[in-house]
Amino acid sequence: MGNFADKLITEIKNKKSSICVGLDPRLDLIPNFIVEKHRQKEGDTFACVSQVLVEFNKGIIDAIKDLVPCVKPQIAFYEMFGFPGIWAYQETCAYAKSQGLIVVGDVKRNDIDSTASAYAKAYLGKVDLFGKKIEVCTCDAITVNAYLGYDGVKPFIEECHANAKGIFVLVKTSNKSSGDLQDRNVDNYATLYEMLAHLLDSWGSDDIGDCGYSSIGAVVGATYPDQAKKLRKIMPNTIFLVPGYGAQGGTAEDVKACYNEDGLGAIINSSRGITFAYKNDKKFDEKNYADASREAVIKMQKDLKVVGIV
Amino acid sequence: MGNFADKLITEIKNKKSSICVGLDPRLDLIPNFIVEKHRQKEGDTFACVSQVLVEFNKGIIDAIKDLVPCVKPQIAFYEMFGFPGIWAYQETCAYAKSQGLIVVGDVKRNDIDSTASAYAKAYLGKVDLFGKKIEVCTCDAITVNAYLGYDGVKPFIEECHANAKGIFVLVKTSNKSSGDLQDRNVDNYATLYEMLAHLLDSWGSDDIGDCGYSSIGAVVGATYPDQAKKLRKIMPNTIFLVPGYGAQGGTAEDVKACYNEDGLGAIINSSRGITFAYKNDKKFDEKNYADASREAVIKMQKDLKVVGIV
């Protein structure tokens, strides 16, 4: 059945890209021609919004699917529209997967063991429906918050193990206040995020694939390059999912520290900078929003190449 | 517009109870007569499951609504069934609210600021739908994970402030591994959970109601009474949401430390012990599952009274 890390590293090599496109739709930034088409059919309803999100995402996916190994839909921007939004999330994940993309569900779920297990089955495994095992939301990996400790992460690791899936555990996040807890000096470790990195290195040791990387990854923000350098040393076999490039201020030079010397070990996410690129480039009108996204990916690819990142 | 803490404390006083009933439905434990009724109509589908969850929950809500101030539906047990599950979650929250109960959405959401804001609007505020502001999922409060620090919690606090809503931030969770991160010695504080408690005491200071308690609460597990004692001193104005009583091993004596001397300041959650009480008492058959739940609440009330808790 394989291993998630092997699958991801293979796709990175095949596509010569470690870019992850964040699918974080914002209703007010989506082209009017998509919005109005569905408003005429469905009226001002959440059902309409859900159709708009899916059509917009499909356009992006079709435009970038041959260029990048993976996409990362952020569930908050779907969940905010209630159950029709979750329908759009499921449709988006399924479509991306059907087009050969690896799907990282950015859900940051966390809970005590039995509850974490319900989340893990929904996003990484199968759910029991009257004796039949059914896939609910087809992600290849999800993000997980480890504040509850090992027994809250274990159910996710178990599903990774059973189904060749992956997780990315929040270690050092990209936001300004991330140091409030994460940068505190703890026990014999320099900081909490470094201590968690040591735990994570050990939690992931059973799921290292032929590529030398583990399916149990880490979220490390592009906005903290010095911290990333330390984390790269603590977790040599861990794949970093790196948010914060572009709109949040992280540069190509900043994310370089997230890679190993083999030129692998990281995927760099960009959301707004790619999906809403048509807003910042007068060359494109809204009808060509997907072409603008494709060009933004190619531009990001070049930007990363300057500092030696494939 | 009032204040969430005032609303909760008033209901605790009115109903002479600080019990919170956890609505965490498990398909395999729900009475057959409910399941089969909907299977005949809807077949083996997630739509069927969603109808089953709502009917089961309504039975529980009707049976306990005059006894307790609040319910806490755990979203994982709905989300695991995809968008139909989220429909059932929204229906459950709306019905509980319509019956005069305070609804604490156990969602443990967390993210960077702009993303946290999407969650906050969905659960504590209103979402913009083509210029109209619409309530999506009507919770009075939700649980929040603060690993990302203040700017990841602030969007939730802002919605609390604007709409008289509340949050409960995970401080010391009830699970076995909760110490992996939470019990680490940090900086000048004894432990990480105590440090977070000091932060939380400050974050909640703007939202203290006439009752003397803040709308920014804390999750403190019943399974760690010594830690609860320390936390009660650090956060005198904070309401504790206390999971872990009953099935997880916490006793009435254990949860006593979560209360202030005024006999207030905590709500004690029990889920399985109440909702599936009919499974453990031969006096009840499955048709009377709701009566069993009512009796379980009354029994829990008596158990708490023995140690002096109203």
Q: What is the pLDDT of residue B189?
A: 79
Give backbone dihedrals phi and psi of B156, rounded to 5 degrees, phi first.
-70, -40
Identify the residue among A148, A171, A248 best suited for mutation to test binding to B, counting B beta carbons within 10 A and taking the highest: A148
CB half-sphere exposure, A121, CA atoms < 13 A: 19
**Chain B residues within an 8 Å CB radius of A129:** 44-46, 49
Interface touch A84/B83, C-beta < 8 Å = yes
- All domains of chain B in start order, with CATH: 4-306 (3.20.20.70)
State the smallest CA–CA distance between residue B64 and chain A in angstroms. 24
Q: What is the pLDDT of residue B248?
A: 84
Is the pLDDT at B308 greater than 90, yes or no? Answer: no
Nearest to A151 among B39, B81, B175 (CB): B175
User: Residue A119's closest CA among B35, B193, B75, B266?
Assistant: B75
Taking the C-alpha atoms of residue B49 and residue B35, their distance in angstroms, rounded to an integer, is 8
CB half-sphere exposure, B113, CA atoms < 13 A: 11
| CA B167 distance to own-chain centroid | 10
Tokens of A301: 């690819």
User: What pTM value is reported for the model?
Assistant: 0.98
Q: What is the pLDDT of residue B239?
A: 98
User: Residue B275's closest CA among B21, B78, B71, B37?
Assistant: B21
Q: What is the pLDDT of residue B304?
A: 95
B247 pLDDT band (50/70/90 cuts)?
A: confident
User: Residue B126's closest CA among B117, B169, B99, A84?
Assistant: B117
Is residue B302 packed enough to be buried (19+ CB in 10 Å), middle (13-18) or exposed (0-12)? exposed
Mean pLDDT, chain A, as a whole number? 96
**Chain A residues within an 8 Å CB radius of B28:** 128
Taking the C-alpha atoms of residue A55 and residue A67, their distance in angstroms, rounded to an integer, is 20
State the smallest CA–CA distance between residue B77 and chain A in angstroms. 6
3-state helix, strand, coil in chain B (%, to 5): 50, 20, 30
Q: What is the pLDDT of residue B77?
A: 98
User: Residue B23's closest CA among B65, B44, B14?
Assistant: B65
pLDDT in tens, B22-70: 999 999 999 999 999 999 999 999 999 999 999 999 999 999 999 999 9
Interface touch A180/B76, C-beta < 8 Å = no
Tokens of A231: 């984390």
Name the residue in chain A with its Cα closest to that of B169: A147
B295 pLDDT band (50/70/90 cuts)?
A: very high
Using 70 as the pLDDT threshold, list the residues of chain A that sit under it: none
Tokens of B306: 């023995």
Tokens of A78: 């779907």
Please, which residues bridge with residue B167 across strands? Answer: B142, B216
Q: Is B108 a catalytic residue?
A: yes
Q: What is the pLDDT of residue B11?
A: 98
Q: What is the pLDDT of residue B309?
A: 84
User: Residue A196's closest CA among A221, A228, A218, A167?
Assistant: A218
User: Residue B310's closest CA among B9, B14, B18?
Assistant: B18
Taking the C-alpha atoms of residue A109 and residue A57, their distance in angstroms, rounded to an integer, is 23
Residue with tokens 């201020």: A249
* Active-site option among B58, B108, B279, B299: B108
Taking the C-alpha atoms of residue B252 and residue B301, their distance in angstroms, rounded to an integer, is 10
* Contact call for residues A57 and A25 (beta carbons, < 8 A): yes
**Chain A residues within an 8 Å CB radius of B130:** 39, 44
User: Residue A197's closest CA among A230, A227, A234?
Assistant: A234
pLDDT above 90: percentage of residues in chain A: 95
**Chain B residues within an 8 Å CB radius of A203:** none
Is the pLDDT at B208 greater than 90, yes or no? Answer: yes
| CA A26 distance to own-chain centroid | 17
A305, amino acid identity: K
Interface touch A115/B76, C-beta < 8 Å = yes
Name the residue in chain A with its Cα closest to that of B148: A178
B301 pLDDT band (50/70/90 cuts)?
A: very high
Nearest to B152 among A79, A132, A177 (CB): A177
Nearest to B108 among A74, A111, A178 (CB): A111
Measured at the CA of B14, the angle between CA B11 and CA B16, to 5 degrees, comes to 100
Nearest to A175 among B87, B148, B175 (CB): B148
**Chain B residues within an 8 Å CB radius of A179:** 149
**Average pLDDT for B275-285:** 95
B307 pLDDT band (50/70/90 cuts)?
A: confident
Q: What is the DSSP letter of B208?
A: B
* Active-site option among A37, A58, A108, A154: A108
Taking residue A130's Cβ as centre, other Cβ atoms within 10 Å add up to 14
Residue with tokens 């990841």: B152
Measured at the CA of B119, the angle between CA B115 and CA B121, to 5 degrees, comes to 110
pLDDT in tens, B135-178: 999 899 999 999 999 999 999 999 999 999 999 999 999 999 99
Q: What is the pLDDT of residue B143?
A: 98
Identify the residue among B175, B224, B272 best suited for mutation to test binding to A, counting A beta carbons within 10 A and taking the highest: B175
DSSP A112-155: -HHHHHHHHHHHHS-EEETTEEE--S--SEEEE--TT-HHHHHH
Q: What is the pLDDT of residue A52?
A: 98
Nearest to A44 among B109, B130, B174 (CB): B130
